Chain A
Amino acid sequence: MDNYFEHIQDYLDGSLAPADTRRFEEALTNDADLRRETAHQRMLRETIAKQLETSQGVPALAETLQAASRAHFAKARKPKYPSVVRWLIPLAAAACLLLVLTIPGLWTVNFERLPDMPVSVTRGVGSDDLALQAAEAFNAKDYNRSVQLLEALVAHDTANMRNRYYLGLSYLGAERHQQSADVLRPVADGKAVYADDARYFLAVALWRLGDAGEALRYATQVTPRSSYHQKAQKLADRLAQ
């Protein structure tokens, strides 16, 4: 059959003329390969159409699930560390900080230093390999590659804040500051666990874009819960000068 795939698509679109439809259906009856290919194409079209349509409902569902998850698991959650360890952690942190502050030459802050993207927490059957590749590229500082992969992951699962966060960081690593700010802003303004850290990196991106006012606003919103709280304060001090 000439234009094999065009005929299949036209048939599935319902755009063949009645006579051509009859001919195509006769061919389907007699040609097992055509039958298989048409069924395969129909499955692809139905899957994509469904997945695209349903992805619109995912963010709202994700919010409900997060609320249910927090409510359920909070009841069962117990302190993870014994009490002695819990008070030793801040003590050790304070000792380390004192040590660091007394070593000359360690005052320069690299505001744009990016964290590693954890490989071990990547999951999801469909996107697992892609997420792993993205993490590997990110940790190898191949930010152009991690941008490419994370863009695909974000398009696939728009509700996944983790992927959005690391996409924003990848843009920052690739010095694409405007795109970094565009991606990080909704994460920073949201309630995901990445929001606090996203505020810091958004402040850095905005600072690099020359928007000191907005950068300062986000830097001062980073709470002490974030591991970037101190760096955010230093950035804020610098921006306020």
Chain B
Amino acid sequence: MHPDQRFINYLQHNDSRGIAEIYRLYADKIARMIRHNHGDEADAADILQEALIDIYRLSADGKFVLTCPFEAFLVTVCKRKWLNVLKKKSGSPVTKSLDDGFTFERSEETEASGHADQLEREMAVMQVLEMMGDKCRGIIKACMGKEHQEKVAERLGLTYAYLRKKKSECMAQLGKLVKTHPLFNGEQ
């Protein structure tokens, strides 16, 4: 575990002083990177906030272990987000490297990329789930909590046998859809 895990803990515990420290240490660096690449301060504020929420989502169950400096991870996430924005903007080609101002060890970059990949894959799973039909999406979400499956069936007004069958069908469908997502193509 990297000593910068404390920044992850600040997000997990919604620690306002810790979060202020994150902004104090990193916000200007992120803003500089985005300003150098066709963005402004408002863009930087949005990107940074979205990145921190995504990192929270990744780590909020307490199992995520940071293995690189927090700055390397945060910069990688912000960089990818901003590249996605630039791709969507017509007539705004990236003329400068988004690496401006940052120098990380190769091993740190690799670790940060691995964390960012994991984050993107989790977001992709949720994106695919949200695109599924109402019934499957509802059943999957209802079944993923800690509630006993028979109780879930009762709450949804279904028989347990039907819920069990439908859940397996829906999960199979979700599994297939996720495998066709570009981030999971290698798993087919």
Asked if A230 CB lies within 8 Å of chain B CBs, one says no
The answer to whether A64 touches B179 (Cβ under 8 A) is: no
The answer to whether B169 touches A48 (Cβ under 8 A) is: no
Separation of A155 and B126 alpha carbons in the complex (Å): 10
- Chain A nearest CB from B134 CB (Å) reads 10
Chain B residues with CB below 8 A from A13, complex form: 149
Separation of A50 and B46 alpha carbons in the complex (Å): 24
The answer to whether A77 touches B53 (Cβ under 8 A) is: no
Asked if B74 CB lies within 8 Å of chain A CBs, one says no
Give the contacts of A189-216 with B (CB-CB under 8 A): none
Asked if A225 CB lies within 8 Å of chain B CBs, one says no
The answer to whether B49 touches A49 (Cβ under 8 A) is: no
Chain A residues with CB below 8 A from B110, complex form: none
Give the contacts of A36-63 with B (CB-CB under 8 A): 36-37, 40-41, 43-45, 47-55, 57-58, 60-62
Asked if A66 CB lies within 8 Å of chain B CBs, one says yes
The answer to whether A62 touches B174 (Cβ under 8 A) is: no
Interface of B is mostly: helix
Interface of A is mostly: helix
Give the contacts of B133-188 with A (CB-CB under 8 A): 140-141, 144-145, 149, 164-165, 167-169, 171-172, 174-175, 178-179, 187
The answer to whether A5 touches B171 (Cβ under 8 A) is: yes
B52-63 vs A, CB cutoff 8 Å, 1 = contact: the mask equals 111011001100
Asked if A107 CB lies within 8 Å of chain B CBs, one says no
Chain B residues with CB below 8 A from A119, complex form: 88
The answer to whether B61 touches A58 (Cβ under 8 A) is: no
Q: A13-B149, A156-B126, A156-B127 are in contact. Are A128 and B84 (CB under 8 A)?
A: yes
**Which of B11, B80, B88, B131 is the one whose CB lies under 8 Å from A120?**
B88
Asked if B27 CB lies within 8 Å of chain A CBs, one says yes
Asked if B130 CB lies within 8 Å of chain A CBs, one says yes
Give the contacts of A68-122 with B (CB-CB under 8 A): 68-69, 71-73, 76-77, 119-122
Separation of A159 and B22 alpha carbons in the complex (Å): 20
Chain A residues with CB below 8 A from B126, complex form: 47-48, 51, 126, 156
Separation of A5 and B187 alpha carbons in the complex (Å): 18
The answer to whether A127 touches B145 (Cβ under 8 A) is: no
Considering the complex, give the chain B residue whose CB is closest to the CB of A77. B41
The answer to whether A159 touches B130 (Cβ under 8 A) is: no
The answer to whether A120 touches B45 (Cβ under 8 A) is: no
The answer to whether A68 touches B127 (Cβ under 8 A) is: no
Chain B residues with CB below 8 A from A121, complex form: 43, 46, 85
Q: A44-B125, A128-B84, A128-B88 are in contact. Are A69 and B23 (CB under 8 A)?
A: yes
Q: A48-B144, A123-B85 are in contact. Are A9 and B56 (CB under 8 A)?
A: no
A-B CB contact pairs (8 Å), 7 listed:
A48-B129, A61-B14, A68-B23, A69-B23, A76-B28, A120-B89, A155-B130
Known: A125-B54, A125-B119. 18 other contacts (CB 8 A): A5-B169, A8-B168, A9-B164, A13-B149, A36-B187, A44-B175, A47-B122, A50-B57, A52-B141, A64-B14, A64-B19, A120-B89, A123-B82, A124-B54, A125-B81, A126-B123, A127-B123, A159-B53
Q: State the B residues within 8 Å of A (CB).
A: 11, 14, 16, 19-20, 22-24, 27-28, 31, 41, 43-50, 52-54, 56-57, 60-61, 80-82, 84-85, 88-89, 119-127, 129-131, 140-141, 144-145, 149, 164-165, 167-169, 171-172, 174-175, 178-179, 187
